[in-house]
Amino acid sequence: MKWFVGVLLLLNVGLYLWATGHKNTQVAATRPVVNAAGMRLLLEQPASPDVASTRVCYRIGPFIEELGSAAAQERLQAMSVPYKALKVNKREVRAYRVFLGPYGSPAEIEAQRGLLRKNGVNEHYVKSEPGGEDVISLGLFSQQARADEFREELSTKSIQAKTRPENRILGPTFWLELRGIEPKPAVMTALRESRWQDDKARLRVFPCS
């Protein structure tokens, strides 16, 4: 009777091991260890130092008139967005103009403007020069490299433009700086899509100092 009970016990143990998928420990030890770090969920990954250290700040502007800045401040106050009003005084800057000409007659200018439109260059205007002749201005850039790139882009359309430096006096401008805030997505969307009183004013991103 005892041997019969022993056989049943062995059969039950064998059935349990088969049902639970138990493997021989010596066979399991020969398999490579799973990369635990690689199996972590995305939210469990440690924060990247680069991402953590990258911070951005926001500005709204430029406003040419102080009245436009004041209207924007009222809107930010209504949205409970903290800000700091800034004024940049009048200053002289170096700019780089991309242009065609000069031309001696209106007929020459109109013929060239027709070629520009035919090539999809619609943003241009006629600028009178101090000597009495006119040029066709195609763009004004704050960086010479960007002006040269635009000139080379035009050359692919058989438009042989020129570049020249110009000193320009910029009047005072007004800005609203948003610092040290973590705005909600809905607020950021509203700021990006807002139409301010000055057409040139918009939400701009810059690295925090």
Distance CA 135, CA 102 (A): 5
Cβ-based neighbour number of residue 110 at 10 Å: 11
Distance CA 76, CA 63 (A): 15
Cβ distance 201 to 58 under 8 Å?
no
Distance CA 73, CA 178 (A): 11
**pLDDT value at 172 more than 60:** yes
What residue has token string 């439109």? Answer: 117
pLDDT for res 174: 96
Cβ distance 166 to 92 under 8 Å?
no
- Strand ranges across the sheet with 162-170: 125-128, 134-141, 91-103, 162-170
Mean per-residue pLDDT for 96-103? 96
**pLDDT value at 35 more than 50:** no
Cβ distance 68 to 175 under 8 Å?
no
**pLDDT value at 31 more than 50:** no
**pLDDT value at 34 more than 90:** no
